[in-house]
Amino acid sequence: MNNKEILSASSAILRKAKQLGADLAGFASMEDLRSAPSFTFAPKMPGVDQGIGSRNSTTGMTSGKVKWPEHGKSILVIAVAHPKESPEMDWWFGRVSPRGNKILMQTIKELCNWIIETFGIEVFHFPYHVEKGGIYLKDAAVKAGLGCIGKNNLLVTPEFGPRIRLRAMSVNMAMPSTGPIAFDPCMTCEGVCRMACPQNAFDKQVYTAESYGQTLLPARDGVYSRPVCNGQMQKNIDFAKQAQPDGDAPPVKIIKYCRRCEMSCPVGK
């Protein structure tokens, strides 16, 4: 494809992503992403592949390291809004994945098929967990121009604030990157997200630039404590109540993970 055709394919793919269910979509270069903060930090972080948000590794990579797909030049990141008015989009019904997650998976799946049929480009649907072949999605979203990393350690978008969930795929064609964008609402905000945390996960300096050899750290300045936040997730599991999802289905535990640092942010609709 020549440059004009690549530009036209890129716009068509981004349009299609939105038709299929994405609220936001963008392209990042895979080469750029290799040196992004999460990708360089995670392999140095103790316990990165242990705990609630991780799985046993099937990639053969060492802790925190990403297994990059062999054939992939650009990464397409999509976001689905999880508005305050629809909290159930983020709930786990027993072992059944949340509704928002199903929309994300289905959208990428359909997009993969459509891209192969339309352009004949090789694609790869990234699994959610890095230990299963996934990537660090927030950094990918920043590079794709969807938003910035906020003081709450989440991707904050101009449209929906941090109330979005992410998923990604790679395409074996160098698409023009759609980011990053000049957007940083945290510069002028006192950090209500941090104050809203029920576990005070942002209270102490946990990581320093000197120890990790990089200045961009969890929650920007290294104050986000993963084990403390993880403790809250465990509580959410332990105290989940049994309820009937719908119809005649048997009752299951509905897990509502903490979202206070997300819900308290004033940015977005």
Query: Between residues 93 and 224, which has the closer beta carbon with respect to ligand B12?
Result: 224
Neighbours of 40 (CB within 10 A): 16
- From 173, 111, 164, 109, select the one nearest 142 (Cα to Cα): 164
Neighbours of 70 (CB within 10 A): 9
Q: Which does 89 bind (CB under 5 to 8 A by kind): ligand SF4, ligand B12, none?
A: none
Residue 244 half-sphere exposure toward CB, CA atoms < 13 A = 5
Q: Which does 82 bind (CB under 5 to 8 A by kind): ligand SF4, ligand B12, none?
A: none
CB of 92 to ligand SF4, least distance (A): 15
Q: Which stretch binds ligand B12 (CB under 6 A): 41-49, 68-76, 115-123, 244-252?
A: 41-49
Query: Between residues 33 and 175, which has the closer beta carbon with respect to ligand B12?
Result: 33
Which residue matches tokens 């809004």?
81
Query: Between residues 56 and 188, which has the closer beta carbon with respect to ligand SF4?
Result: 188
Q: Which does 128 bind (CB under 5 to 8 A by kind): ligand B12, ligand SF4, none?
A: ligand B12
How far is it, in rounded angstroms, from Cα 267 to Cα 162?
A: 8
The per-residue b/e assignment along 122-131, b for 16 or more CB within 10 angstroms, e otherwise, is bbbbbbbbbb
Query: Between residues 171 and 193, which has the closer beta carbon with respect to ligand SF4?
Result: 193
Enumerate the β-bridge partners of residue 164: 81
How far is it, in rounded angstroms, from Cα 30 to Cα 188?
A: 32
Which one of residues 9, 166, 206, 255 is an interface residue with ligand B12 (CB under 6 A)? 166
CB of 119 to ligand B12, least distance (A): 26
Query: How far apart, in Å, are the Cα atoms of 117 and each of 4, 7, 140?
Result: 20, 18, 25
**Which helix (H) or strand (E) element contains residue 93?**
strand 92-93
Q: Which residues bind ligand SF4 (CB under 6 A)?
A: 150-152, 156, 185-186, 189, 191-193, 196-199, 201, 229, 232, 258, 260-261, 265, 267
Query: According to the binding rule CB under 6 A, does residue 268 interact with ligand B12?
Result: no
Helix axes 3-20, 99-119, angle to 10 degrees: 150
Q: Which does 189 bind (CB under 5 to 8 A by kind): ligand B12, ligand SF4, none?
A: ligand SF4
- Which residue has its beta carbon closest to ligand B12? 53
Query: Between residues 13 and 267, which has the closer beta carbon with respect to ligand SF4?
Result: 267
Q: Which does 37 bind (CB under 5 to 8 A by kind): ligand B12, ligand SF4, none?
A: ligand B12
In sequence order, which residues have a C-beta less than 8 Å from that of residue 235 and are 6 or more positions away? none
- From 45, 67, 51, 188, select the one nearest 124 (Cα to Cα): 67
| Binding-residue total with ligand B12 (CB under 6 A) | 42
Q: Which does 90 bind (CB under 5 to 8 A by kind): ligand SF4, ligand B12, none?
A: ligand B12
How far is it, in rounded angstroms, from Cα 151 to Cα 167?
A: 22
Which residues make up the interface to ligand B12 (CB under 6 A)? 36-38, 41-42, 45, 48, 52-54, 90, 128-130, 134, 136-139, 142, 149, 152-155, 162, 164-166, 216-218, 220, 224, 226, 229-230, 233, 257, 259, 261-262
